[in-house]
Structure 1
C-alpha cells in the first residue's frame, strides 16, 4: 500500500512518532509518503495513494478527510490532540491498530461532509466541503452578519447574529456545541443550523434532514467584509448580496477506528460528561 502519513507540525510528539511509524510501515512492505500539515489546506504530495494516516488531533483529521473523501480512500487517525472526538486510535496502541487496519479487522465508519457553493453576481467563486462545519461571520470582530435563509420549499426568515454555523453531526461537538447547539450522535446523518449571539431570543438551533438544501443570501449592512470558514481551516471572503448554497456533500469520508464508542468515550473523559447517579 501507498500510505500518506499526515504529520501535524505543531505537535512535537508527531515528529518522533512519524520516524517510528515510517520504519514500521516500510518493514511491513508499504510505501510511505510524508505530508506536513501546519493549518493550511495544501494538497497531498502525491495523487495516487491507498490510505492517509494522521498524526495529530481532530483538526488534522478534518484536513485529511476533505482531501480523501472524493477518492474514497480511508483515513486512519492516531490521536495526539486534546479531545479525540474523531481520532480514536491511541498513540500507545498504534502498531496493533495499524496491523488490524491492514488486515481488514478495523471497522470503517462513513461520515458525511457539508458542501458550500458561493455565488457572486451569477458566477460561482468557491466550492468546498467541511467535515465539521461551515461558519459565516463578519471578517472583523464585534461585527454582525444578517442572512436571509431559505430552502426549496420554505423560508426560514432573516437571521442576524455574530455568526451562523451549519454543522454536520460529526461537528456537533465543535463550534456548534460551544454556541449552545445539540450534541448529536455521529451515526445520525443530519445538518445543524445554529447561531452565535443571535439578535433574537427566539433563535434556537435547528436539526435538519441531511437531504435539505439551504440558500443563504448575505444582506447588505454597515459591515462590508464577511468570511466563510470551512472547518476553521479554509477562509473564503464573502461580499454583501452573495448567495451561499449549502447541502450535504456528494462524497463521504471513511474513518478507521472512529465508531460511536470513541465518541461517547470522549464525552465522558474529555467533557467530563458523567450523567446522573446510578441506581
Structure 2
C-alpha cells in the first residue's frame, strides 16, 4: 500500500480539517496517511515508506518539507494556505481536481534546484545543509554591519560590508532576495543569485552567477556583530571570525506538483500587482 505524509502548518486553522478530508479522499486509492505538524521548528520528518508528501500551509511549509525529502526523491503536493504562494501553487479550492490528476499520473511535476551551504572551521566541516530558497549570512542583531570576503571560484570579489549576504536559488529569488532588491529569476533557469543586503558601498550590486560557480565567503572581524548562517530562514548556525562558508548549487532537486511556469507568472502578476502598463 502506498503512503502519503501530510505536513500541516499549525498556524493555519483550516489545515486540520483539510488534512482529514484528504485522508478520506485517498481511501479509494488504497493510500494510507500519516500526519506531521510544522510549527516553525526544524524537526526531522519520518519519511519511512512515504511515496509523496502533501503540505498544508504557505511557502514556508514547503521549504521545510523540501529540505527533508529532496535526498529521498519524494515529490511534494503543495496546497497553498498562505499569502504569497510562489512555491505552493495549488489553491485550496482546486486540491481535489489537482490531487486526482497527480494520482492518475497526469499532473506536471517540476524540478527545482537547491542551494548547498557548508560551514568550515580550521579545515573541518561543521555543518552542511541544503536550502530551497536561500543561504543567508548576517548579524544576529538588527542594524549591525558584517564584514565578509567573497570569492567566486578563483576570482576575489573583495570585502563586502553590509547587513548580510543572500545567496539564493532561482526559486528563492522571489523571497528575501527580491525584498532586498535582487532580480527575479525564472525557476526554470539554472543559476545562483548573490545579493548583498543594504551594502555600505553602492558599488556592491546583485549578481546572477552560473550554476557551476562555487562561492567561498570568509567571516572577517566585525564591530559588535555576532554572525549567523541561515538556511531558508529556518535553520541557523553561529559562525566565528575566520570561518569559511562554502555555497554552491546542490546536486539534489525538489520535485513539486502543480507548480507550472504559468502559475509562477500568474503569481507574480497578482502578488506584485502588475497591471500591464500605465493607463491614461
TM-score norm. by structure 2 comes to 0.96
Secondary structure of the residue aligned to 1:5 is strand
1:35 aligns with 2:44: no
Provide structure 2 residue ranges, at least 5 long, that are not aligned to the other structure. none
1:43-90 residue CA offsets vs partner (Å, 9 max, x unmatched):
113422111110000111111111111111101100111011011111
1:23 aligns with 2:28: no
Q: Return the offset for 1:275.
A: 2.7
Match of 2:194 in 1: 193
Q: Return the offset for 1:124.
A: 1.1
Q: How far apart in 2 are the matches of 1:273 and 1:14?
A: 30
Whether the 8 Å CA contact 1:118–1:126 is kept in 2: the answer is yes
1:199-226 residue CA offsets vs partner (Å, 9 max, x unmatched):
0011110000011000000001223521
Q: How far apart in 1 are the matches of 2:28 and 2:239?
A: 49
Q: How far apart in 2 are the matches of 1:172 and 1:151?
A: 19
Whether the 8 Å CA contact 1:61–1:77 is kept in 2: the answer is yes
Match of 1:206 in 2: 207
Match of 2:123 in 1: 122
Provide structure 1 residue ranges, at least 5 long, that are not aligned to the other structure. none
RMSD of aligned Cα (Å): 1.2
Q: How far apart in 1 are the matches of 2:87 and 2:207?
A: 23
Q: Return the offset for 1:151.
A: 2.4
Whether the 8 Å CA contact 1:224–1:239 is kept in 2: the answer is no
Q: How far apart in 2 are the matches of 1:75 and 1:86?
A: 11
TM-score norm. by structure 1 comes to 0.97
Match of 1:248 in 2: 249
Q: Return the offset for 1:153.
A: 2.3
Whether the 8 Å CA contact 2:3–2:32 is kept in 1: the answer is yes
Off by >4 Å, runs of 4+ in structure 1:
none
Match of 2:88 in 1: 87
Match of 1:165 in 2: 166
Match of 2:157 in 1: 156
Q: How far apart in 2 are the matches of 1:230 and 1:259?
A: 25
Q: How far apart in 2 are the matches of 1:125 and 1:47?
A: 27
Whether the 8 Å CA contact 1:133–1:165 is kept in 2: the answer is yes
Match of 2:232 in 1: 231
